Chain A
Amino acid sequence: MIGALGFAAPWLLLALIALPILWFLLRAVPPAPIRRRFPGVALLLGLEDDDQQSQKTPWWLLLLRMLAVALVIVGFAGPILNPEERREGTGPLLVAIDATWADAADWPRRTARLDDLLAEAGRAGRSVAIVPLTGLPAGDLPFQSADAWAGRLAGLEPVAWGVDTDAVRGWAAGLEGRFETFWMSDGLAADWRADVLAAFEARGPVTVFEAPRPAVGLRPAVFEDGNIVLTAVRSRADGPASLTVAAHGLDPAGTPRRLAVAELDFAPSATDASVELSLPAEMRNRVTRFEVEGVRSAGAVSLTDDALRRREVALIAARDEREGLRLLAPTHYLEQALEPTADLVDGALSDVILANPDVIVLADVATLAEGEGEALRDWVEDGGLLVRFAGPRLAASDVSRAEEDPLMPVRLRAGGRSVGGAMSWGEPKRLRAFGPESPFFGLAVPDEVEVTAQVMAQPDPSLPDRVVASLADGTPLVTRKRVEAGQVVLFHVTANAEWSTLPLSGLFVQMLDRLAVSTRPAALDPDDLAGTTWQPDQVLSGFGEVSDAGVLPGVPGEALAEGRLGRDLQPGLYAGEDRRIALNVITAETELAPTVWPARIAVEGLDVVRETPLKGAVLAGALLLLLVDILASLWLSGRLTGARASAAALVAAALLTAAPQPAEAQGAEDAETTALALLATAEVVLAHVLTGDARVDDVAYAGLAGLSDALTRRTSVEPAEPIGVDLETDELSFFPFLYWPVTPDQPRPSTEAYAKLNRYLRTGGMILFDTRDADIAAFGGASENNQKLRQLAAPLDIPPLEPIPDDHVLTRTFYLLQDFPGRHASRDVWVEAAPPDAERAEGMPFRNLNDNVTPVVIGGNDWASAWATTADGGRMFPVGRGFAGERQREISYRFGINLVMHVLTGNYKSDQVHVPALLDRLGQ
């Protein structure tokens, strides 16, 4: 054993002693010489080697070989990483697992470790009892053989709540007999641990297994200053850490989706970290839960309820012609009351309904327009809450007078009443305490609330059911009517302080809260919840998975307020009458702290250390070194040349690098395209089409290079190095001019390439087709190249052609020419035909041809060969014979120059025809 390394056959290592002997043996053998036939040997005679070093094998090659041999020896000695240690122990074994939500994050590792322990116990023949502390067995410890437990491990799951303190204390106190205890703890401090530990220790030795990772919890999201504040806590502050928190919810299409993501950064010594998440109201209301990504635990999930949801409230007031004071505005107090807790929506009623707010408040709006009333009714029936306030207009109108308006909870008596005013008898009325069936039940009625005027409800059989608040004398103050899924609430007073002091009091805000107009505060009020029953809607598993609650029984409000999670009160989402409450594992107050175990307790990690036999790896390493040795030996003896060198490079590359990523290839391709674009656009560049025939391509390149030289020398056009373009991949629009030598066996361009070519031709590009066979075939004949040209050009957008006429602009763009020879001197060169109506003006030498640059020039004179120059400036091909040949070459250069000038200057020379007329008109 050396550290974590052991050997199956350690005595084999003795062979390492033989290595120095091998060193001397290998050292003496120089590499074998190569025999080479070489006529230059005559010049070598008498040359001495500089030093005699390579007569012996160089030290590094020796080292390489020794290393390889040493590896072989070590490999056969059978090295094993982490040889297994056997755990001693006899007698029954109790494995206690916390199995809480904090265990869930690394549950697979726990079960793996448990598996390991069970296997060990099985080998030792010990009986085992596995007890999850969150699901204590009734009666005696279930000691069974380890094999019996092994099959049941998969059924063991963490729960989403913590250990029940009282139950576990009672269970521990009742333990009997002697046994050893392995305690798999979730690592969170709890006050019951000391007692349980003491009970275990009384029965035998205790070993604790704990995950080294801190437990992470996500506190409920809090709404602050328009942002959602997310806070995460961890049990140990062990350096900086970063968590990703994701908000999940339904997207508008109803599909569950990750709506937003935030990064939480723990300071190195902090146990909690916060991040603010700013979401639009619309999206915020969709969030159903926050999750710490990558942590599978109920603690890392925080369900959201109405606390986070901000209701959208639309305030609609009757149009006010007066420029009233702010304080008299019908909606001022509503705005003040709702602003902190709800999102207010402004706008005309018809627009607002389309936005589908949660609540619409109509402050003293009597009559609604035709369509608005209908739309509003539909909206209410779909679950909207319509809150109406009375006022002078409502009192004066006939709404809900003779018969009940569908958008009013009650019928109203004409006129309303006014009490306690200067013109009336009696005192201003106070409010009566709210009855138990009223949604306002439990709210204290302050004395200062006085009502001086109100609209009166028509006595009606249904009236008593609809009254939710009344004055001291019994007249209804607030009435409510349910309409299908929604409801209509009428405050019989104004929304401002004109008729009552209610809007000035705190009661007004509370009443709005209770009506679910505004958003409730986050804290659960036990008094609020007393006597209510809450139905679990969704529950969290220990792994943080949200599932339907199914048939779980309802939960009393008190228990909900107390929040002691357990099998009866599982974390999840609970639905009440008109609101939903989320019960999370981690609350706003939860702090996580690591367990502190007494020093006498052995604490082990969860890591299962497997034996790793290294024999294969070490022998492979030796083989690799021997391969390197082969290459190195070849290189040393000079045999690494030619095909061998490339093969060696391949092997080395395969050894050193992994396969390149497609993304990189993509990037490289992009870079290539960019490089081509830069190359082609930085200067004028002549281009030729790559035909696939290397010889033709080379000649085309050399030809354009020669033409570029001639242009540079003779004109102000100074082209850069020519470029060969691949029609399939390269962008053509950078090039003013394409030379296309036709070969019989070049591939037909693809449809896309033809599209590109046609675009190129239409936008002013020019292609010079060269069949290169004018010496043997007449233009348009049946030669192979001509047929190929016809085939290639068929899909191209080429106008009617004609042989170059004498007055074509190509004959005078730079030089005056009438012949267009290349290496051959055929006169068959075709260009776009002149329009039939082209006329020669009186006294002009040329016809008036102000059309485009011809898109194609077609001929077979093998121009590139005539232009081609070698790298050292010499002519690549002879043209003609003697002086006449040189003259022909000169004319071919002139044709090339004229062609490029034509491409670059268009019909400038043709326009010169008009110069006399222009001069004449200018009076010169």
Chain B
Amino acid sequence: MSQPARLRQDAEALAQPFPPLLAAAEHLAASVLLGEHGRRRAGMGDEFWQYRASMPGDERRMIDWRRSARSDAEFVREKEWQAAQSVMIWVDPARSMAFTSSKHPEKGHVARTLALAVSVLLVHAGERVGLTSMVAPPRSGQLQLLRLATALSEDSDEEYGRPELRGILHHSRAVFVSDFLGDLGPIETALTKAADRDVKGAMLQVLDPVEEAFPFDGRTIFESMGGAISHETLKAGDLRDRYLDRLAERKARLADLARRTGWQYDLHHTDQPATTALLWLHGALGRVN
């Protein structure tokens, strides 16, 4: 089975038990097309919203004759304004995501599966989903899922990924999935920029259990996945505490960054069931507003 197809299948399986995700939408923006979000105001849509007395300027054909016949005044039947939300997804394609310790799946695989699973839910809910890169602008429909799966399967040669913001639409929602182990600067910039464009969303950090435990000892040369960065130590065991401190600090900074920009942040380990993370994403996209 080709990789995108397989990715899609995994994601569908993961998303199956969840009811369609209804991402909250606060504002109507340029990106809004017709979707299933009731805007709680009269507008274009299928659902009945209210009757109001007709006013001068209303077209004749807008009058609801059945309602009007019951009284003396003429009434216009208004429908609720429904809009679809755009959700932009960025999954770290860098080589660091290819890391796995022993039997757990690669971080990258987990990240892509989760992203696509969220996409599946969103598409089922009638939302538009796209990638933050220009490759796949937001659309809805099953075909878009295929496009997403193909686009997500592409790797980059970078050691660590930096969020892509080129294709992001104003006022949309975003999901960033990465290990966030690289330089924090670009991430910070990206989030700030996103906040400037009124893009809010969820940041999911995916880590391998080994990256949390650092179970190394003895003389070791650590190399990044591409081999570009290396660090030699004589007693890896002695570094454990300091490494863990740094990792905790990194997480704290990410959480802090998220809080300041109105994003949601969570950590997922590849040895945990992906459902938990998907559930969180599901909730997080609903919480952001």
Contact = CB atoms under 8 A, between A and B. Distances in A.
B96 to A, nearest CB: 4
B218 A31 contact: yes
Contacts of B237: 638
A44 B17 contact: no
Contacts of A43: 181, 243, 246-247, 250
A654 B221 CA distance: 33
Interface in B51-99: 96-97, 99
Nearest to B223: A37
Interface in A494-551: none
Nearest to A641: B215
A695 to B, nearest CB: 13
Given A43-B181, A49-B234, A50-B235, A33 B99 contact: no
Contacts of B134: none
A376 B158 CA distance: 117
B47 interface: no
Interface string A869-906: 00000100110011000000000000000000000000
Given A39-B224, A40-B181, A45 B219 contact: no
Contacts of B96: 39
Contact of B222 (A32, A36, A52): A36
Contact of B231 (A31, A32, A41, A874): A41
A239 interface: no
Contact of B243 (A44, A54, A635, A639): A44
Nearest to B212: A40
Contact of B218 (A40, A637, A878): A637
Interface string A42-67: 11110101101011000000000000
Nearest to B179: A39
Interface in B184-219: 208, 210-211, 214-219
Interface in B101-146: 102, 107
Interface string A633-645: 0011111111000
A250 B216 CA distance: 73
A34 B219 contact: yes
Contacts of A40: 181, 211, 214, 222, 243, 247
Interface in B247-270: 247, 250
B232 interface: yes
Contacts of A878: 17-18
A768 B46 CA distance: 49
A49 B18 CA distance: 49
A881 to B, nearest CB: 6
A40 B205 CA distance: 13
A37 B19 contact: no
Contacts of A32: 219
A878 B278 CA distance: 13
Interface residues of B, number: 46
Contacts of B19: 881-882
B230 interface: yes
Given A33-B219, A42-B181, A642-B102, A49 B238 contact: yes
B30 interface: no
Contacts of B234: 30, 49, 52, 54-55
B160 interface: yes
A638 B236 contact: yes
Given A49-B233, A638-B237, A41 B224 contact: yes
Contacts of A639: 218
A11 interface: no
Given A37-B225, A882-B19, A47 B220 contact: no
A638 B232 CA distance: 13
Contacts of B211: 38-40
A87 interface: no
Contacts of A636: 218
B247 A47 contact: no
Given A50-B235, A52-B234, A54-B235, A39 B181 contact: yes
Contact of A638 (B97, B220, B225): B220
B11 to A, nearest CB: 17
B219 A41 contact: no
Contacts of A45: 229, 231
A35 interface: yes
A633 B92 CA distance: 39
A97 to B, nearest CB: 68
Contacts of A641: 215, 217
A180 B282 CA distance: 107
A31 B236 CA distance: 13
A357 to B, nearest CB: 85
Overall SS of chain A's interface = loop
A55 B235 CA distance: 9
Given A40-B247, A43-B250, A49-B238, A638 B219 contact: yes
B233 to A, nearest CB: 6
B221 A33 contact: yes
B155 to A, nearest CB: 14
B243 A34 contact: no
Nearest to A35: B221
B166 interface: no
A757 B102 CA distance: 43
Given A43-B247, A49-B235, A54 B225 contact: no
A39 B225 contact: yes
B266 to A, nearest CB: 14
Contacts of B107: 39
Nearest to B208: A39
B182 interface: yes
Contact of A41 (B222, B238, B276): B222
Contacts of A35: 220-221, 223
Interface in B142-157: none
B231 A47 contact: yes
A878 B17 CA distance: 7
Q: Select the residue from B222, B229, B230, B247 with max chain A CB neighbours within 10 A.
A: B222
Contacts of B218: 31, 34, 54, 635-639
Nearest to A55: B234
B223 to A, nearest CB: 6
Contacts of A37: 99, 223-225, 227
B239 to A, nearest CB: 5
A30 B232 CA distance: 14
A639 B219 CA distance: 9
Nearest to B99: A39
Q: Select the residue from A30, A39, A878 with max chain B CB neighbours within 10 A.
A: A39
A38 B160 CA distance: 12
Contact of B230 (A34, A41, A50, A877): A41
B279 to A, nearest CB: 8
B238 A50 contact: yes
A640 B224 CA distance: 22
Contacts of B217: 635, 637-638, 640-641
A877 B247 CA distance: 32
Q: Select the residue from B19, B234, B236, B276 with max chain A CB neighbours within 10 A.
A: B234
Contact of B220 (A33, A42, A874): A33
A30 B229 CA distance: 23
A902 to B, nearest CB: 32
B40 interface: no
Contacts of B220: 33-36, 638
9 nearest A-B residue pairs (beta carbon): A638-B218, A638-B217, A39-B96, A637-B218, A33-B219, A41-B222, A43-B246, A878-B17, A38-B222
18 contacts: A34-B218, A37-B227, A38-B216, A38-B223, A39-B208, A39-B211, A40-B181, A41-B229, A42-B160, A42-B229, A47-B239, A49-B238, A50-B238, A54-B218, A635-B218, A638-B220, A640-B217, A642-B102
Given A31-B219, A38-B99, 17 more contacts: A30-B219, A31-B218, A36-B223, A37-B223, A37-B224, A41-B224, A42-B181, A43-B247, A43-B250, A49-B233, A50-B235, A50-B238, A636-B218, A637-B217, A638-B220, A641-B215, A878-B17
Interface of A: 30-45, 47, 49-50, 52, 54-55, 635-642, 874, 877-878, 881-882
